A and B are shown apart, each in its own frame.
Chain A
Amino acid sequence: MSDEELNTSTGRPEQTPDPATIEGAVGREDRSQFAMGTAVPSEIGVDIEQTAEVNARTASLWSDAWRQLRRRPIFMISATLIIILIVMAIAPRLFTSIDPRACSLTDSLLAPSSEHWFGTDLQGCDYYSRTIHGTRVSIAIGLTVTFFATGIALVGGSVAGYYGGWTDTIIARLTDIMFVIPFILGGIVILSLFPTRGVPQVSLVLIILGWATMLRLVRSSVLSAKSHDYVDAARAMGATNRRIITKHILPNALAPVIVYATITVGVVISAEAALSFLGVGLQLPAISWGLMISNAQARILTAPYLLLFPGLFLSVTVFSFILMGDALRDALDPKLR
């Protein structure tokens, strides 16, 4: 395999030539058609001439998407916000030097001021510091749950979609069962089983409740990718089922999954906060936006800032991931171009 071919199959963005030359060489519509095909041709042995031609344009779905994303303000805004939030989660000390657990009751319920930017809570803790430190659990739970739920969905969905038959029936019914249990109801019932609830317990429950929708999505993506000619071609060349799934079907079925997974991070963060708010999620002394909002609700009239700041951080976080999902959807769906 030549270097050029390797580049096509990984679709590295840095290999991308100037967009202007591409626009000149081929029309936009032509390009997106090639884009769909280029993910695999080097594998199934399309004749060398055509591969070389495609290489000159380096127009895989991903490099195309990346080129488009860089021009979208929505993507840039959400990506910046997400990076800031992740840095905040990893190193909250960069944003505040105040210890969120160093509280003094004499400072109870101070309004926002230059000393305490977000005021102080009932225990006299600095609210700005607590809000910043609250980012960690939200981001941790959001990313962990999405990672594992997507993993389950990818394995289960591709097996169900590819093999069909009884395997499909059993997986589909299991999905249906999880699907008819309302999210919050299931969360309350399962979480109340745990006497102590930290990040691992809450994540586990959200994974259990969260994989079903994603699995349906993977399954239907795989079903539609399965019927393409390149799959038949790969099978004719003697590729094993495992190879067909991992090398040919999944890469082509991945776009909607990535979009949905990005949005799921936001949804999971929101669900964690809701469960903590209801008193069945994380427990004190954990620092979590849901818990902060829960404690603020008794004082929404006298100290509305206690509700406002964690609520704002929570909403902005969820918003960033949903916005990112939206931008990715626009970029990855060739039909919309």
Chain B
Amino acid sequence: MGRYVIRRSLQFIPVFFGATILIFALVFAIPGDPIRALAGEKHISQTVLDTLNERYHLDEPLWKQYTIYITGVFQGDFGVDFRGRPVTDLLKQRLPVTIRLALLAFFFEVVFGVGAGILAGVKKGKFFDNFVLISTLIVIAIPIFVLAFLAQIIFGVKLGWFPVSGIRDGWMSYMLPAIVLGSLSLAYIARLMRASLVENLRADYVRTATSKGLSRRRVVGIHALRNSLIPIVTFLAIDLGALMGGAIITETIFNLPGIGRAVFEGVQKQEGTVVVGIATFMIIVYMFANLIADILYGVLDPRIRLE
């Protein structure tokens, strides 16, 4: 087991550097001189230009800029924006919003996704099963931003159950965005859970358990369910990372000041350091989520780690 964890973790080192180099190179390939862009119409002297270029290492070659940057990241320094404010401060300020949103969405996914999947799987071919299959397909098909507007119009404006946007109403203001953000994964989880349970219910060990006289409740609840939860658990682990990054559209539409909107604003304002800082952070989170999913998979299913 230890060896499996170590091997998996080591494999992520090149992935980490590869992904961060890629984002770094892409962002700083955005044409235009950021210092001049910042100054706008104002004339700035060559001395100021040189000083600023030196301070932000803009005069160094790209690989050296990256080395300086990534060393900082390991020390918890994600760079500064062009107003001199550390990106870490921005993260500290924006992150709680995104975490609250992601956790709430995650909660919906687990409760309703897994719940619907189990009920549908147990009652395969019945009305509820078909209902789950069709409704999840519809949810998967509607793009998230269309879903967000529909939710705003129906539940926010017409019915008035939830605040339409902003974060002034505490937890209530997170409800609608969280449902929208979680809906896609919720649908996937319900389908995955159903498929996995149906497959396991057909397995030989379930037949054995039934034929030795165990109650249906025990066969499904203990024997089949445990095995069918394996793919769900790993999906959920990856998804928690994906939710953090996937909040860009939801946060923009619902006007939530989280890191998703921050990175989008950064791209629009050409604030390269903000974009790279937050993107690097998101990639780290997502990568750890993937790593945890991999390890969980190995823990839960011994066949994987013995490969």
The answer to whether A319 and B18 touch across the interface, beta carbons within 8 angstroms, is no
Which residues from chain A contact B11 at a C-beta distance below 8 Å?
173, 176
Number of interchain pairs (Cβ within 8 Å): 115
**In A284-337, which residues have CB < 8 Å from any B CB?**
293, 297, 300-301, 304, 307, 311, 314-316, 318-319, 322-323, 326
* Cβ-defined partner of B137 (8 Å) among A173, A279, A280, A322: A322
- On chain B, which size bracket covers the interface? 35 or more
Given A189-B279, A322-B137, A322-B141, also A180-B249 (CB < 8 A): no
- CA of A232 to CA of B248 in the docked complex: distance in angstroms? 49
Nearest residue in A to B18 (C-beta to C-beta)?
A177
Q: Is B142 an interface residue (CB 8 A)?
A: yes
Which residues from chain A contact B290 at a C-beta distance below 8 Å?
179-180
Which residues from chain A contact B15 at a C-beta distance below 8 Å?
173, 176-177, 180
The answer to whether B246 and A184 touch across the interface, beta carbons within 8 angstroms, is yes
* Cβ-defined partner of A188 (8 Å) among B138, B246, B248: B248
Which residues from chain A contact B31 at a C-beta distance below 8 Å?
193, 195
Secondary structure at chain B's binding surface: helix, strand, loop or mixed? helix
The answer to whether B249 and A274 touch across the interface, beta carbons within 8 angstroms, is yes
**In A219-243, which residues have CB < 8 Å from any B CB?**
none
Q: Is A192 an interface residue (CB 8 A)?
A: yes
Q: Is B287 an interface residue (CB 8 A)?
A: yes
* Cβ-defined partner of B286 (8 Å) among A182, A190, A326: A182
Given A177-B19, A184-B246, A184-B249, also A315-B279 (CB < 8 A): no
Q: Is B125 an interface residue (CB 8 A)?
A: no
18 contacts between A and B (CB under 8 A): A173-B11, A177-B18, A177-B19, A180-B290, A184-B246, A185-B245, A185-B279, A188-B267, A192-B268, A278-B249, A278-B252, A293-B146, A300-B152, A304-B153, A307-B153, A314-B143, A315-B142, A318-B143
Residues of A whose CB lies within 8 Å of any CB of B are: 173-174, 176-177, 179-182, 184-185, 188-190, 192-193, 195, 266, 270, 273-274, 277-280, 293, 297, 300-301, 304, 307, 311, 314-316, 318-319, 322-323, 326
Residues of B whose CB lies within 8 Å of any CB of A are: 11-12, 14-15, 18-19, 22-23, 26-27, 29-31, 137-138, 140-146, 149-150, 152-153, 157, 242, 245-246, 248-249, 252-253, 263-264, 267-268, 275, 279, 282-283, 286-287, 290
